Amino acid sequence: MNAAQSVIGYVPDAVAKELQQSGKIGTDTIEMPLQPGKQAALLRVRHADVAELRLGPSRDGHTSVQLVLNPGAKYEFVHTTSADFTTLNDPGLAYFPNPGAVAIFIRPKYTLSGDKKFREVTETR
């Protein structure tokens, strides 16, 4: 089994449904919140960098989405804030740390097919 890098975020259920059907969110770049319904911290990744997509459970109208990334994929964590408050990156505080990335080891459920859409993989042994 190979190691893959993945990121996890949450999208509204309707968007998840669309995603499952079309394999895309937006046009070129996916932006999805790291917490259900919160826009303060977003994950940004290009479609071209996504190797596989998995949909997780839905709760309170939001579905978890796991994007398995291609090797060397670039992704960004975008933190938004109110113009009234600017974060102090004070080392004396437990300020928002670099979250790093998680490694997961899965057999693919969806994979990008030739027509640039995600298709479910049927496992054969």
Position among 27, 28, 57, 92 found at the interface with other proteins (CB under 8 A): 92
CA nearest to 99, candidates 3, 1, 5: 5
Distances (CA, A) of 49 to 25, 60, 66: 13, 29, 13
Tell me if 119 sits within 8 A of 22, measured CB to CB: no
Q: Is residue 97 near other proteins by the rule CB under 8 A?
A: yes
Q: Is residue 27 near other proteins by the rule CB under 8 A?
A: no
* Nearest residue (CB) to other proteins, 102 versus 117: 102
Position among 57, 100, 123, 125 found at the interface with other proteins (CB under 8 A): 100
DSSP code of residue 20: H
Q: Is residue 60 near other proteins by the rule CB under 8 A?
A: no
Q: How far is the CB of 10 from other proteins (least distance, A)?
A: 12
Question: 50: burial class by Cβ within 10 Å (0-12, 13-18, 19+)?
Answer: buried
Binding residues for other proteins (CB under 8 A): 1, 3, 5, 35, 38, 40-41, 78-105
